[in-house]
Amino acid sequence: MKVLKILPLVLLLLLVPHVVASSQQAYQDYLFQFDIYRQKYSEFTVAKNEYLKFKTLTSQTTALAKTIAMLSQRDLLLRAYLLLLNEKLNEDRGLLSIDRVTYQTLLTNEVVFLEGHSRLVTSIASLEDASETSQQLESHYSILQASMRQTIGGLSLGQLIVYARVFDTALADARALVDSSRGTFSPQKQATIDRWILQITNVRSLYQQKQEQIARLNAQFKGTSLDEQNSNLSTIKKNVAEARQYLIEGTGYLGELVDALRYED
Amino acid sequence: MDTTEQIITQAPNAPVPQVPQPKPVFPLWGAALIAILIGGGVLLTWRSFQQNEGFPALPTPTPTVVPTPTPIRTLSALASQSAFLSLATNVASLSTQLRNFVTEDPSLSPPVLDLPLGF
């Protein structure tokens, strides 16, 4: 009976590392799929060149087989990357659940597309079919890449929000301490402390404006070409870096406030 | 008149042939100059020894280290409270985390694929 009571606890402890490392596992799987894709793409390139050079039935058959294998692996690779993003979203603790669900819906739509595309790949019977099936992915690729980049922007924002929450807790604690100790410091020092808290609050407001700007940019993420999308993602990342800088500045001020509270004079 | 006698009487008036004196190898004034220089050198050396004996060398002064006094600050009543200690720890931890926060995660770079088949 005692063993039966302990068993669920043991199982839970065994499962915890797997839960924590799920994004790591997804990343390893993505790297593995990428390696296989590179190999299949290389084989496809060789077979295609031979077919274009000799135009024999044998080279055509080989080229078709290698093309199907490569296209199939391409879908698997893209799905592995989407899974990685999904796992990162699952681990995120900063985003509001409604935002997380929005990003996960984007990813799910792309996975559904890739699953449909994979089914088409298995029914390819000729090189013309292969070209047509590949073009379906090509025409959708911009949307797929935009979804990926939008999710990356969301993940960066989520990380920022986690730190902002810790900052807010620390600021609230500092305020509570100052309020509870009002009267223990000299009036001059008390005025300085109050002014510092106001300055910290101002920095927090600047951070908040930046966070809202990032959320707005990410919600309206667009770009017809990959270059445009990369440029938009860079803008978001630049704003994330600036928001982080505000938090660093505010935390530095909090550190000074803590030092001021530590001593009487 | 005897010719021999004439010769003898004329001898004092005749020019006496001069024997060439050997030129000195080193001129006298040069020797005097060297002597003066050596003498001066000896004198100066002697005087310097005299001075050293008279005035012993001063010890090299070494700077005395005067430590800057650390101001003694009185801890406030808050400093020992658990809420304050917790706040100090949280702020220090947040500061470290923010400095280590990488805004660009390299593991999340989207795959770049060459899509057209080229047939």
Domain presence at residue B93: no
Tell me what pLDDT residue B85 has: 97
Q: How confident is the model at residue B20 (pLDDT cuts 50, 70, 90)?
A: low
Closest by Cβ to B76, choosing from A34, A176, A184: A184
**Mean pLDDT score, B12-39:** 70
Closest by Cβ to B117, choosing from A130, A152, A264: A130
Query: Across the interface, do A159 and B88 touch by the CB < 8 Å criterion?
Result: no
Q: How confident is the model at residue B14 (pLDDT cuts 50, 70, 90)?
A: low
Q: How confident is the model at residue B72 (pLDDT cuts 50, 70, 90)?
A: confident
Tell me what pLDDT residue B45 has: 83
Instruction: State percent of chain B over pLDDT 70.
Output: 70
Beta carbons of A26 and A80 less than 8 angstroms apart: yes
Query: Across the interface, do B91 and A169 touch by the CB < 8 Å criterion?
Result: no
Total residues belonging to chain B: 119
Q: What angle do CA A133, A152, A220 make, to 5 degrees?
A: 85
**Mean pLDDT score, B76-84:** 93
CA distances in angstroms from A14 to A7, A71, A122, listed in the order given: 11, 38, 39
What is the per-residue burial (b if ≥16 Cβ within 10 Å, else e) of A240-261? bbebbbbbbbbbebbbebbebb
Spatial distance between the Cα atoms of A91 and B69, rounded to a whole number of angstroms: 52
Q: How buried is residue A224: exposed, middle or buried, by Cβ count under 10 Å (0-12/13-18/19+)?
A: exposed
Beta carbons of A160 and A240 less than 8 angstroms apart: yes
On average, the pLDDT of chain B sits at 79
Beta carbons of A170 and A227 less than 8 angstroms apart: no
Mutation choice for A interface testing from B74, B84, B89, B98 by most A CBs within 10 A: B98
Domain presence at residue B73: no
Query: Across the interface, do A156 and B103 touch by the CB < 8 Å criterion?
Result: yes
Tell me what pLDDT residue A2 has: 53
pLDDT over 60 (residue B4): no
Spatial distance between the Cα atoms of A109 and A171, rounded to a whole number of angstroms: 41
Tell me what pLDDT residue B33 has: 86
Domain presence at residue B89: no
Structure tokens at A223: 């770009």
Q: Residue A161: its chain B contacts at CB < 8 A?
A: none
Q: Residue A41: its chain B contacts at CB < 8 A?
A: 114
Q: Which residues of chain A have a pLDDT value below 50?
A: 9-18
**B12 or A177, which is more confident?**
A177
Query: Across the interface, do A148 and B84 touch by the CB < 8 Å criterion?
Result: no
pLDDT over 80 (residue B103): yes
Spatial distance between the Cα atoms of A214 and A182, rounded to a whole number of angstroms: 38
Domain presence at residue B17: no
Collect all residues with Cβ–Cβ distance below 8 Å to B117 and sequence separation of at least 6: A48, A67, A130, A131, A134
Domain presence at residue B2: no
B102 touches chain A (CB under 8 A): no
- Which range marks the domain in which residue B31 is found? 26-56
Number of domains chain B contains = 1
Query: Across the interface, do A34 and B86 touch by the CB < 8 Å criterion?
Result: no
User: Amino acid letter at B40?
Assistant: G
Residue A263 is classified by DSSP as: B
Beta carbons of A131 and A212 less than 8 angstroms apart: no
Query: Across the interface, do B115 and A138 touch by the CB < 8 Å criterion?
Result: yes
Model confidence pLDDT, tens digit, residues A180-216: 999 888 999 999 999 999 999 999 999 999 999 999 9
B106 touches chain A (CB under 8 A): no
**Mean pLDDT score, B68-93:** 92
E strand segments, chain A: none
Comparing CA positions, the residue from A206, A211, A197, A117 lying closest to residue A159 is A211
Tell me what pLDDT residue B68 has: 84
Tell me what pLDDT residue A138 has: 96
**pTM of the full structure:** 0.75
Q: For residue A255, give how far its alpha carbon lies from the nearest alpha carbon of chain B (Å).
A: 6
Domain presence at residue B45: yes
